Amino acid sequence: MTNVKINVKQTTVEINVKKMYVGFVYVYWSQDKMTLGRAKQKSLEQMRAYSNTIDKSNPVSNDVKSNVQNLSKSVSKQIMTSPSSENVLDKKQSQKYRAFGEHQVATAKRALDAELNRGVVQRNQNQNVAQIKNAAQKSKEQNMLARQKSMQYKPTKTNVAEKPAQATTLQRLDQKKLLEMFAYNKYQKAA
């Protein structure tokens, strides 16, 4: 059996990477005349191949890859130092070990695929949020440009007085103007 420690603070990705690795170890070790050390090595190769096939743009792929690398470091050291690396599995137990290993690999793969799918959804949501933010920023920039351009074309001089004219009262009109007005009115009525 392999000595893979499961820590309570591990992520689901880390747990499932280790579970998949253990499953591969059982599958390879159940083969005829396969030593435990060689089964572990083949399992590491299989895990590296799996981590390299994952879409790199998925946020979970980095987590899977780093967990596989960490596992690789610890297991490589374990293969070199453990005396059990030369153990060969008894043929009577090989079918049971193989079935267990295949089950472990399948369940871990389903769980990792679910995590990767969540990562795709998360990435898409992040992209949608980023697109919305970009659209809002562009809209804001366009509004600012429109305001700047509208200020450019604002008329500065018009024929309308800036201040309202003071109402002309009879007291303010001089006599000459009054006479002209009455004469004009008289002329208008006659015509």
Rounded to an integer, what distance in angstroms lies between the CA atom of residue 28 and that of residue 97? 9
* Secondary structure of residue 179 in the 3-state scheme: helix
pTM over 0.75: no
User: What DSSP character marks residue 35?
Assistant: B
CB 26 within 8 A of CB 89: no
Of the listed ranges 99-108, 112-121, 139-148, the one predicted with least confidence: 139-148
Tell me: the pLDDT tens digits for 146-186?
776 665 555 555 555 555 555 555 555 667 776 777 777 66
pLDDT at 9: 62
Between residues 14 and 125, which one has the greater pLDDT? 14
Cα distances (angstroms) measured from residue 28 to each of 64, 81, 130, 148, 189? 22, 20, 45, 71, 121
Average pLDDT over residues 65-83: 88
